[in-house]
């Protein structure tokens, strides 16, 4: 059911986002405690603000009420993906070139499963991550998680 809710929500929210030149980053439909949450993460060049999130939330809420894809009560949250935005799509990795990233892999690559450093390049098949002492080439199919990372 979660995948169905996510797919329907995506169909409903994408046209809303396109009107304001916003990007859909991710949709989650999760149960936390006894409550269900439908979370929609959006972004745009320069970042989203509270007005963007409020406008999308209001419009999406109306569309969800009409389509009624979720039985029972849930909380709708529309927000920014934050400073440590997940990287999932080709466009995410392409935009992240030159930025600091944190990557984990399903299996070791060159003896390691965790990489953090500058994303030097991305060619659709592998990432080149320059760490402090080494540079790692990470095949895309081995990536478990990828996100931007804040450097302190």
Question: Helix, strand, or coil here: 126?
Answer: strand
Mean model confidence pLDDT for the chain: 93
Q: What is the mean pLDDT of residues 65-89?
A: 92
Of the listed ranges 3-7, 37-41, 55-59, 73-77, the least confidently predicted one is 3-7
CB 138 within 8 A of CB 129: yes
Cβ-Cβ contacts under 8 Å for 54 (sequence gap 6 or more): 78
Same domain, residue pair 48 and 113: no
What was the pLDDT predicted at 83? 86
Same domain, residue pair 72 and 96: no
Question: How far is 78 from 50, CA to CA, in rounded Å?
Answer: 9
**Can you tell me which residue has the tokens 């402090």?**
132
Domain presence at residue 84: no
Same domain, residue pair 99 and 140: yes
Same domain, residue pair 70 and 7: yes
Domain presence at residue 104: yes
The answer on pLDDT for 94 being more than 80 is: yes
- Give the tens place of pLDDT for each residue, 29-59: 999 999 999 999 999 988 899 999 999 999 9
Question: What is the band of 1 on the pLDDT scale with cuts at 50, 70, 90?
Answer: low
CB 84 within 8 A of CB 100: no
Same domain, residue pair 104 and 52: no
Structure tokens at 112: 């390691």
What was the pLDDT predicted at 3? 81
Beta bridge partners of 23: 43
């Amino acid at each position: 059911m979660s995948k169905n809710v996510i797919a329907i929500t995506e169909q409903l929210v994408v046209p809303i986002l396109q009107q304001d030149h916003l990007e859909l980053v991710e949709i989650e439909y999760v149960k936390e405690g006894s409550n269900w949450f439908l979370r929609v993460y959006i972004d745009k060049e320069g970042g989203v603000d509270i007005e963007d999130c409020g406008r999308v939330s209001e419009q999406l809420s109306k569309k969800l009420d009409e389509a009624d894809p979720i039985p029972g009560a849930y909380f709708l949250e529309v927000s920014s993906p934050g400073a440590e935005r997940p990287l999932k799509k080709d466009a995410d990795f392409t935009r992240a070139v030159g930025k600091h990233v944190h990557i984990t892999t399903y299996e070791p690559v060159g003896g390691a499963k965790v990489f953090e450093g500058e994303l030097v390049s991305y060619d659709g098949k592998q990432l080149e991550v320059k760490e402090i002492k080494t540079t790692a080439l990470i095949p895309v199919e081995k990536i478990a998680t990828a996100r931007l990372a804040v450097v302190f």
